[in-house]
A and B are shown apart, each in its own frame.
Chain A
């Protein structure tokens, strides 16, 4: 260890003027030895020495000359614009990629939520076997009553609602919250107030708080909004408050907030888990203490109410951590990938600085002869790189700002709900830091080497000797290119794995035809559609309106791939068990008669629904193949009955199974099909309200184009002018969104891999070309002695091949080591997939050969006479 500290001292000493240097080193070495023998920390001593050097440099003539150096650097760069442009562009790419990604990471992971003391806001969930769940009203009330760790606990239910009474009806997000919610998350309305205790009484709860955004967009920022009445799902409510602008409190971000009143029914159902719970830790209470307390409460409740709570504990997580939990790791990995790109860019710039330095040795030598110290030269060379890296950084920020838009478009929906990615002061600070660090990293080694070479040569052989000096980049150039190839290989492997995942995801047979289909949603508010028959009638109206336009149309409560589902316990013929235990379950869906045909889902047994399956005929259901296998393995399902709760009575309703259909990857291609139960919409009992009374319509247009939203709106408003059309998009688009997250990762990492590859290739080309130029005469001699052109070319190419394969081999080792990190990000391919690794190495080698070909060709064209006679 002592050796390391001494080496650091010696390195630092290069910045002390020569006449004091030896004494300085001797003194610190003696102090170091003393510190070690007396058991004190040598690290602290070295820190002191560094501080002394920094103070020395900061106060010395070395830095006083910086403005002058900057001017000189700019002049010098104007003389060699090619070099300047190459360095600036390289850095701009590296810094731009990093800044763009940092702005994403900053927006979602670093920047605290805009709430009062956001670190004290926690999310409470029921927790079992690694899964977080919502909780029920009785559980929430017990948590609230029995815990002492929180200043406040509040429960939230989020749902969509329709706002009417405006020019066009508006579909908005709505959150039902218990009084005290706003205080708990730490926000205060900018206008009016939040909810009072009394307003949780259903009789007095007809009030609402608006988000700032809705207040502006729907009510034009009306200053008289307080006291105004709005129509939400057909119920009138009085506006009592408006929240601050830009309030981000996912997962609660909403447009309209109304009081949550627990009905008798909700209070009776401990197993009815539909509440999110948020809490504010008491000042001075640690997260660990709150966790310990809630753990105890959770266990007690599980013992007291085993039917609903068995095996469940309570998890307490900081809100921000909970929101970004699943997305945080990939984002950090991507930032790491961007860091690789920057490192490669640094190496390139370092190579460029050395190559340029070689052609400037004469200038440097003259400076040394005229009395410039080594420190002085180092500072001057560093200033040049710093100037370039700052320009590169500025360009990088511009690039990042341009990239933020497209990146935003790729951000998966789970993150996008937290708000848009922005380039703010902190991001700029990051870019500045990255620029300076890059400049330092790329410039320091070459600056030290060049200044050392210049000083050494001058003192050894005078000015004359120096004029013959050349920068030696032989061995080091190979190492640099190899390291670039290693880094690039890691990224190319990563990109390859992501690409294969995406191909695998896209090639999964989803079980539905999505081409040429458009979908849109309509919600039927309870105020106008109180009965199931009312809803059925309206759905009929929309379907016949579409049919009148000559469009094939059907309807469903749950669009495939949209991620939505309604899971319910089911009772099966011959398998009767108590519904409250963990018996069989299925995802309940309501569909129109032509649904299976329109979406191309095959009927594998029995029949599909027909127009005759209505409220007057026997209640029927169709299940998917997976359900048939799970419910009655090997026994056949058609003709048996299935039952589940369809209304508030809690009594299971029996339905006859009339058909079995093919499996659909309902939750997206990466999720295996789950048991599903379909029922015809005309036989829909109260089940409507379980999925928010929302129906999606699926339309096939004759030419396969996306249905115009005007057409959809017109058809729907023909039925009811207060019904808004929402989420109109092609089903293919819905599928694309379901693979949004892997696509986001894949696109970014491919972009980084592409950049890395480009920079590595430029690096290899540069070093090879430089070597060929340096060996011009040697090549001439070889050719004069009979070496063939092919041999010369072969020598250059094999040199490049060696660098590339050495690097790629190193990269493979790195990739194997890092693969564990991406295992959660790839699907359908092993993170150690040999084919991907092999292809990456192959690609790197081929590209290296392409890059080296031009210098190799030039080398083979050397005219021996000319190269030997020229200097």
Chain B
């Protein structure tokens, strides 16, 4: 078991991350779940060890003339949780599935 409560919001966020969405804002928009739910959820998933967060390298921000953003990625440990999420609340494709890459199959 993953040790998280698989609510609709959790399932949607997991699937969005799996689809390759990396920023809170994008996830909130794609899943139509309120950002006030998405951000705390990402932090919770991170605390559970299912998601990792990282700051963009500063040069990307500089290049685009904005502060660098924090992005989130699924960790290999989330594989079961994602499968569970998809089984419980199958969502239409939120983007290209990237779990393969994220869990390091190609890496």
Q: Does the CB pair B34–A51 fall under 8 Å?
A: yes
The answer, yes or no, to whether B66 is at the interface (CB within 8 Å) is yes
- With a cutoff of 8 Å between Cβ atoms, the chain B residues found around residue A49 in the complex are 35-36, 39
Q: With A45-B35, A48-B35 in contact, do A35 and B40 touch (Cβ < 8 Å)?
A: no
Least CB distance from B29 to A in Å reads 8
The answer, yes or no, to whether A61 is at the interface (CB within 8 Å) is no
Contact of B36 among A26, A27, A51 (CB under 8 A): A51
A26 and B55 CA atoms in complex are apart in Å by 10
Interface residues of B in 34-53 (CB under 8 A from A): 34-40
Question: Interface readout for A471-509 with B: 1 if CB under 8 Å, 0 if not?
Answer: 000000000000000000000000000000000000000
Least CB distance from B12 to A in Å reads 16
Q: With A26-B67, A37-B66 in contact, do A31 and B25 touch (Cβ < 8 Å)?
A: yes
Q: Does the CB pair B23–A31 fall under 8 Å?
A: yes
Interface residues of B in 51-107 (CB under 8 A from A): 61, 64-70
Q: Does the CB pair B67–A48 fall under 8 Å?
A: no
Q: Does the CB pair B25–A45 fall under 8 Å?
A: yes
Q: Does the CB pair B36–A52 fall under 8 Å?
A: yes
A52 and B44 CA atoms in complex are apart in Å by 12
Interface residues of A in 1-57 (CB under 8 A from B): 26-27, 29-31, 33-35, 37, 40, 44-45, 47-52, 54-56
Q: Does the CB pair A33–B70 fall under 8 Å?
A: no
Q: Does the CB pair B69–A48 fall under 8 Å?
A: no
The answer, yes or no, to whether B17 is at the interface (CB within 8 Å) is no
Interface residues of B in 1-49 (CB under 8 A from A): 23-25, 28, 34-40
Q: Does the CB pair B66–A31 fall under 8 Å?
A: no
Least CB distance from B84 to A in Å reads 24
Q: Does the CB pair B39–A34 fall under 8 Å?
A: no
Q: Does the CB pair A31–B40 fall under 8 Å?
A: no
- With a cutoff of 8 Å between Cβ atoms, the chain A residues found around residue B65 in the complex are 37
Q: Does the CB pair A30–B34 fall under 8 Å?
A: no
- With a cutoff of 8 Å between Cβ atoms, the chain A residues found around residue B34 in the complex are 48, 51
- With a cutoff of 8 Å between Cβ atoms, the chain A residues found around residue B37 in the complex are 51
> Across the two chains, which residue of chain B brings its CB closest to A50?
B36
Contact of B23 among A34, A44, A51, A54 (CB under 8 A): A34
Q: Does the CB pair A34–B66 fall under 8 Å?
A: yes
Per DSSP, chain B at the interface is helix
Least CB distance from A58 to B in Å reads 11
Least CB distance from B56 to A in Å reads 9
A41 and B4 CA atoms in complex are apart in Å by 32
Q: Does the CB pair B67–A30 fall under 8 Å?
A: yes
Q: Does the CB pair B28–A48 fall under 8 Å?
A: yes
Q: Does the CB pair B36–A30 fall under 8 Å?
A: no
Least CB distance from B22 to A in Å reads 12
Q: Does the CB pair A31–B69 fall under 8 Å?
A: yes
The size class of the interface chain A forms with chain B is 20 to 34
Contact of B25 among A34, A47, A51 (CB under 8 A): A34
Q: Does the CB pair B69–A34 fall under 8 Å?
A: yes
Q: Does the CB pair B23–A48 fall under 8 Å?
A: no
Least CB distance from B47 to A in Å reads 11
Question: Interface readout for A664-698 with B: 1 if CB under 8 Å, 0 if not?
Answer: 00000000000000000000000000000000000
A31 and B72 CA atoms in complex are apart in Å by 13
> Across the two chains, which residue of chain B brings its CB closest to A27?
B70
- With a cutoff of 8 Å between Cβ atoms, the chain B residues found around residue A34 in the complex are 23, 25, 66, 69
- With a cutoff of 8 Å between Cβ atoms, the chain B residues found around residue A48 in the complex are 28, 34-36, 38-39
> Across the two chains, which residue of chain A brings its CB closest to B36?
A51
- With a cutoff of 8 Å between Cβ atoms, the chain B residues found around residue A37 in the complex are 64-66
> Across the two chains, which residue of chain B brings its CB closest to A45?
B35
Contact of B66 among A30, A44, A47, A54 (CB under 8 A): A30
- With a cutoff of 8 Å between Cβ atoms, the chain A residues found around residue B61 in the complex are 30
- With a cutoff of 8 Å between Cβ atoms, the chain A residues found around residue B68 in the complex are 30
Least CB distance from B49 to A in Å reads 17
> Across the two chains, which residue of chain B brings its CB closest to A51?
B36
Q: Does the CB pair A30–B69 fall under 8 Å?
A: yes
Q: Does the CB pair A40–B25 fall under 8 Å?
A: yes
Q: Does the CB pair B40–A55 fall under 8 Å?
A: yes
> Across the two chains, which residue of chain A brings its CB closest to B37?
A51
Least CB distance from B40 to A in Å reads 5
Q: Does the CB pair A35–B70 fall under 8 Å?
A: no
- With a cutoff of 8 Å between Cβ atoms, the chain B residues found around residue A29 in the complex are 67
Central interface residue in A34, A49, A51, by most chain B CB within 10 Å: A34
- With a cutoff of 8 Å between Cβ atoms, the chain B residues found around residue A27 in the complex are 24, 69-70
- With a cutoff of 8 Å between Cβ atoms, the chain B residues found around residue A54 in the complex are 36
Contact of A56 among B23, B35, B40, B70 (CB under 8 A): B40
Least CB distance from A722 to B in Å reads 73
A33 and B36 CA atoms in complex are apart in Å by 18
> Across the two chains, which residue of chain A brings its CB closest to B65?
A37
Least CB distance from B42 to A in Å reads 10
- With a cutoff of 8 Å between Cβ atoms, the chain A residues found around residue B69 in the complex are 27, 30-31, 34
Least CB distance from A39 to B in Å reads 12
Least CB distance from B43 to A in Å reads 9
Least CB distance from A394 to B in Å reads 33
Contact of B24 among A31, A33, A47, A55 (CB under 8 A): A31
Least CB distance from B55 to A in Å reads 8
Q: Does the CB pair B70–A47 fall under 8 Å?
A: no
Least CB distance from A17 to B in Å reads 12
A56 and B37 CA atoms in complex are apart in Å by 11
Contact of A55 among B25, B28, B36, B70 (CB under 8 A): B36
- With a cutoff of 8 Å between Cβ atoms, the chain B residues found around residue A33 in the complex are 66-67
Least CB distance from B75 to A in Å reads 19
Central interface residue in A31, A50, A51, by most chain B CB within 10 Å: A31
Interface residues of A in 530-557 (CB under 8 A from B): none
- With a cutoff of 8 Å between Cβ atoms, the chain B residues found around residue A55 in the complex are 36, 40
Q: With A26-B67, A30-B66 in contact, do A35 and B36 touch (Cβ < 8 Å)?
A: no
Q: Does the CB pair B40–A47 fall under 8 Å?
A: no
A319 and B61 CA atoms in complex are apart in Å by 61
A31 and B36 CA atoms in complex are apart in Å by 13
Question: Given A27-B70, A51-B36, A51-B37, 14 more contacts at CB 8 Å?
Answer: A27-B69, A31-B24, A31-B69, A34-B23, A37-B66, A44-B35, A48-B28, A48-B34, A48-B35, A48-B38, A49-B35, A49-B36, A54-B36, A55-B40
Give 9 A-B contacts (CB < 8 Å), ordered by A residue: A27-B70, A29-B67, A31-B69, A33-B67, A34-B66, A34-B69, A50-B36, A51-B35, A52-B36
Interface residues of B (CB under 8 A from A): 23-25, 28, 34-40, 61, 64-70
List of 4 A-B pairs having minimum Cβ-Cβ separation, nearest first? A51-B36, A48-B35, A30-B69, A48-B36
